[in-house]
Amino acid sequence: MEKNWAGNVTYRATEIHHPATLADLRSTIAKSRQIRALGTRHSFNELANTGGELVSLARMPKFVEFDTGAPSVKVSADLRYSQFVEDLDKKGFALPNLASLPHISVAGAIATATHGSGSGNGSLSTSVAGLEIVTADGSSVTLNRGDDDFDGAVVNLGALGVVTSVTLDLVPAFEIRQYVHEGLPLAADILGVLDGAYSVSLFTDWSGDTINQVWVKQRTQDPEFIPDGTTPADGPRHPIPGMATENCTQQLGVPGRFFERLPHFRPEFTPSAGEELQTEFMVARNDAVAALQAINEIREHIHPVLQISEIRAIKADQLWLSPYYQRDTVSIHFTWIADGTVVMPVISMVSERLAEFDARPHWAKIFDIAPEVLQSRYERLQDFDDLARRLDPAGKFRNEFVAEILSPR
Ligand SMILES: Cc1cc2nc3c(=O)[nH]c(=O)nc-3n(C[C@H](O)[C@H](O)[C@H](O)COP(=O)(O)OP(=O)(O)OC[C@H]3O[C@@H](n4cnc5c(N)ncnc54)[C@H](O)[C@@H]3O)c2cc1C
C-alpha cells in the first residue's frame, strides 16, 4: 500500500491516477465521484487521504515560464521548489522565503500555508499571484490576486480542485549567510531574537531553560546579528543532535544563494530525521512569550518523546484559511519520535496548554482539536466552505478530514 513520506499514513485510495496531459486530468476528474490531488506526500495527517481516488501530476508536462516585467514565474503546480529555484537565481530573481526543506511541491505547500521564518516574511502561500485549478466538472478556473475568490483559494486544503499551475511573485536575487549560535537562555528577549535577522529559527529540546541553537540567516548586506548570551557554533550543526550535518545547508557564515541557505536541508539528502511525526501550533506574536512559558511548564512530558522543537516567526496575511490570517505569528513546532501511541497524549497536552492562545494548527501536521474549536479560530472558514460548495457542489474533493473541519453549518 502507498504511504506518506513519514510512513504514518496509508493511502486508502482505490486508485492513484497519473494523467500525462491536461486533457487526461480533466476527464479523470470529471468522471470521478471522489478524488483528491497528491503532492510529494510530506503531510503527516489524513489531509491528503481519501477512500475515493487520488491523482498525481508527476507525469504531466513541466514548465517554468518567466514574466520578467512583473516579475513573476508560472510553474507547474507539482514541481518541487528544488526543481526550479536555481533557474530563478540564474535569471536574477528569488523567492522571498522557503520552507525548511525544498523537497515539497508548490501546490502542496501553498495548499497548507507552509512557511519559513522571518518576522517580515509571509508564508510561501503569500508569494502566490495566480492559480489555475481544474474543478469538479473538469473545467479550468484561473484566479489572480485581486479576484473576489483569490484570498480563499490559495490555502485550499485540496478542497477546491486540482491546482495545475501557480504564478509566484519574484524579488531580486539575493545572498544569505547562515550562522548557528548556541545556548540562548529561554528568558532572553525571544521576539527580539526572532526579529534580529532576515530569517531566524530557534531549536530547543525542552530539556532545560535554554534554546539549544539559534539559526540566523542574514542577507549578506545586513550587519551580523549575534544574539546576546549565545556562543557561535564551532562547526556545522544539524538541528537534531547526533544527525549527519552533511544533510544541512552550509553554515559558518559562508555566503550562498538564497536557495542554498534559506532551507535548513539540502535537496539531495533526507530532510529532518526521516523517522518522525510532526505537530505545529501558531500563536499571535504578542502571545508568544506566554505560550512558550506554558510549553516550558510541561517540558518533562515533551522532552522524552521529542527529537527537536523549532520556533519561527511569520508575518500576517489575508488568506482565509491561513493560520497567520490577520495575525503576526510565532510558530511552535515539534518533531516527535515516530511512535504515535506515546506522542498523541503529549500532542493533546500541548494543544490544551495552548488553547487559551487560540493556537491554530499547521494544516499538514498532526493535531487534536475538536472541529467546533478549530472553526472558532478561523473566522473565514464559512466563506471558504461557501466557495468550496460553489466550485464543487457534490463534494468531490471533500475527504473526511476536510468534511470534519467544515461540517457544522
Ligand atoms: C521533513 C519535513 C519538513 C517540513 N518542514 C516544513 C516547514 O519548514 N514549514 C512548513 O510550514 N511545513 C513544513 N513541512 C510540512 C509540509 O510543508 C507540508 O506537509 C506540505 O503540504 C507538503 O507538500 P506536499 O506536496 O508533500 O503535500 P501532500 O502531503 O502531498 O498534500 C498536502 C495537501 O495538499 C494538497 N495538494 C497537493 N497537490 C495539490 C494540487 N496539485 N492541487 C490541489 N491540492 C493539492 C493535497 O490534496 C493535500 O490536501 C515539513 C514536512 C516534512 C516532512
The CATH code of domain 175-369 reads: 3.30.70.2520
Cα of 362 to ligand 1 centre, how many Å?
A: 10
Residue 274: predicted pLDDT? 82
User: How many C-beta atoms surround the C-beta of residue 2 within 10 A?
Assistant: 13
Instruction: Inform me whether the pLDDT recorded for 408 exceeds 70.
Output: no
- Please write the tens of the pLDDT for every residue from 61-77: 999 999 999 999 999 99
Query: What's the DSSP call for residue 248?
Result: B
User: What residue spans define the domains of the chain?
Assistant: 64-172, 175-369
Q: Is the dihedral of CA 313, 207, 365, 382 positive or negative?
A: negative
Residue 406: predicted pLDDT? 86
Instruction: Inform me whether the pLDDT recorded for 409 exceeds 50.
Output: no
- If you average pLDDT over residues 167-182, what whole number do you get? 98
Return the residue matching grid coordinates 503527516: 44
Average pLDDT taken over every residue of the chain: 96
Residue 270: predicted pLDDT? 81
Residue 4: predicted pLDDT? 97
CB-defined site of ligand 1, < 6 Å: 5, 36-43, 47-48, 57, 77-78, 99-101, 104-105, 107-109, 111-112, 114-115, 157-158, 162-163, 271-272, 362, 364
How remote is the C-alpha of 109 from its chain's centroid? 6
Instruction: Inform me whether the pLDDT recorded for 407 exceeds 80.
Output: no
Alpha-carbon dihedral 393, 396, 402, 403, rounded to 10 degrees:
60
> Which residue, judged by its Cα, is nearest atom 23 of ligand 1?
108
- Please write the tens of the pLDDT for every residue from 371-400: 999 999 999 999 999 999 999 999 999 999
H or E element: which one contains 371?
helix 371-377
The C-alpha R_g of the chain, in whole angstroms, comes to 20
Q: Which amino acid is at 166?
A: V
Using DSSP's 3-state secondary structure scheme, residue 386 falls into: helix
Q: How confident is the model at residue 272 (pLDDT cuts 50, 70, 90)?
A: confident
Query: How far apart are the two ends of the chain, measured CA to CA in Å?
Result: 35
Helix axes 288-296, 340-353, angle to 10 degrees: 130
Question: Do residues 166 and 74 lie in contact, with contact meaning Cβ atoms separated by under 8 Å?
Answer: yes
Q: Say how far apart CA 133 and CA 140 lie, in whole Å.
A: 5
Residue 318: predicted pLDDT? 98
- Please write the tens of the pLDDT for every residue from 359-373: 999 999 999 999 999
* Separation in Å, CA 201 to CA 173, 263, 266, 270, 311: 22, 11, 17, 19, 6
Q: Say how far apart CA 138 and CA 180 lie, in whole Å.
A: 49
- If you average pLDDT over residues 1-27, what whole number do you get? 96
The CATH code of domain 64-172 reads: 3.30.465.10
Q: Say how far apart CA 358 and CA 195 lie, in whole Å.
A: 23
Instruction: Inform me whether the pLDDT recorded for 155 exceeds 70.
Output: yes
Return the residue matching grid coordinates 486508502: 12
Question: Do residues 155 and 130 lie in contact, with contact meaning Cβ atoms separated by under 8 Å?
Answer: no
- Percentage of residues of the chain with pLDDT beyond 90: 96
Instruction: Inform me whether the pLDDT recorded for 188 exceeds 70.
Output: yes
Mutation to probe ligand 1, out of 114, 199, 201, 280 (largest number of atoms < 8 A from CB): 114
Domains 64-172 and 175-369 fall in the same CATH topology: no
How remote is the C-alpha of 142 from its chain's centroid? 23
Mutation to probe ligand 1, out of 82, 112, 406 (largest number of atoms < 8 A from CB): 112
- Nearest CA to 134 among 24, 14, 18? 24
- Please write the tens of the pLDDT for every residue from 296-334: 999 999 999 999 999 999 999 999 999 999 999 999 999
Q: How confident is the model at residue 46 (pLDDT cuts 50, 70, 90)?
A: very high
> Which residue, judged by its Cα, is nearest atom 13 of ligand 1?
114
